[in-house]
Copies of this chain bind each other. A is one copy, B any other.
Amino acid sequence: MNEPIKKIAVLTSGGDAPGMNAAIRAVVRACTYYRIECIGVYRGYQGLIEGDFESLSARHVSNIINKGGTILKTARSLEFKTKEGREKAYKNLKKAGVGAIVVIGGDGTFTGGLKFIKEFNFPLVGIPCTIDNDIYGTDNTIGYDTALNTVVEVIDKIRDTASSHNRLFFIEVMGRDAGFIALNTGIGAGAEEILIPEKNLGLDRLVESLNKSRERGKTSSIVVVSEGDKIGKNVFELADYINENFPDYDIRVSVLGHMQRGGSPSCFDRVLASRLGVAAVEELLDKSTGIMVGFTNKKISKVHLDKAIKMNNDINKELLKVAEIISV
């Protein structure tokens, strides 16, 4: 890799998140700024294997900063998990004269990228973009802030009807392994109880807490449940269990689902995506590889991809306590 990079490829992979387009736009425009060509790869690693490439100019990415989804589409590629698949991808990149690649996504995206680097020593930098905020080495992943706003806006609506009817609502939000969305939106939406994987309070505690709420005269309640909550029941079973214990309660369940991934990105996510897109290109031009660019303590940061994947962000204890204090 001693000759200067003339072309940089960019792809989005894994679950989509708001801000992916803003990140693509920043990568393309940084390439334009530094006078190198930018190649868009469609459908993530699968498009790499199939050679589904398109040269992208600053014009191609006009008016996409505010759009949800990804103009490059995303997919989960089984073929890229095989040696043969990755070889095809490498050949396509070389054939197209691509000297480095930016991969935008989360855990799975970076795992695939790491393998690719190890096998072919191909310069690759990752940009963390997932609504779950479960990547180590950045204070925020792109998309997380937007998802939080989407969820609290929906819960605000559900609270209108919950409090008009004196109802108890169980609301399931995304976050398979981490309860960041549940904890923050639970606090933000003023939920009476929050159930997250990191803090198994058990069903007894939930029953106790609902009893207390009732004693204090609270006639409607919102319980936010992380989809990965380890209480051993899904949200419908949970509702059934509570219903047995509180037969007089009018209980409803709402699973927010995929709407959490869509929508126009928040200003924060647009700016974050713009910064990280520029930083990723600059890192590649500086001969970096195998890293993820992130945003830590209000500055651009970088971390090795394997660290980004393997280490965990811990749930903040102070925030857990705030949740408890604030729901009195």
Contact = CB atoms under 8 A, between A and B. Distances in A.
B158 A262 contact: yes
A169 to B, nearest CB: 7
A interface, over-half SS: helix
A260 to B, nearest CB: 8
A164 B139 CA distance: 26
Contacts of A189: 65-66, 267, 270
Interface string A124-147: 000000000000000100000100
B16 A165 contact: yes
A271 interface: yes
A123 B145 CA distance: 35
Nearest to A30: B325
A169 B252 CA distance: 23
Contacts of A29: 325-328
Interface stretch (A225-233, A241-249, A304-312, A314-322): A314-322
A257 interface: yes
| Interface size classification for chain A | 35 or more
Interface stretch (A48-56, A69-77, A89-97): A69-77
Interface string A1-35: 00000000000100010101000011001101100
B271 A300 contact: no
A266 interface: yes
Contact of A257 (B20, B75, B254): B254
Given A166-B75, A252-B258, A300-B318, A271 B188 contact: yes
Given A184-B271, A322-B275, A149 B266 contact: yes
A274 to B, nearest CB: 5
A195 interface: no
Interface in A253-300: 253-255, 257-259, 261-264, 266-268, 270-271, 274-275, 278, 297-300
A187 interface: yes
Contact of A267 (B70, B165, B188): B188
A109 interface: no
26 contacts: A25-B190, A30-B326, A33-B328, A58-B328, A59-B217, A65-B188, A66-B189, A69-B161, A69-B163, A73-B164, A73-B166, A75-B165, A75-B166, A145-B268, A148-B266, A149-B149, A149-B268, A150-B157, A151-B267, A160-B261, A162-B258, A185-B267, A187-B274, A188-B271, A188-B274, A255-B255
Interface of A: 12, 16, 18, 20, 25-26, 29-30, 32-33, 58-59, 63, 65-70, 73-75, 139, 145, 148-154, 156-166, 169, 184-185, 187-190, 216-217, 252-255, 257-259, 261-264, 266-268, 270-271, 274-275, 278, 297-300, 316, 318-319, 321-322, 325-328
Given A74-B164, A149-B268, A298-B316, 20 more contacts: A20-B164, A25-B190, A59-B217, A65-B188, A66-B152, A68-B161, A69-B159, A69-B163, A69-B164, A73-B166, A75-B166, A145-B266, A157-B262, A161-B258, A188-B267, A254-B259, A271-B319, A274-B322, A275-B318, A297-B298
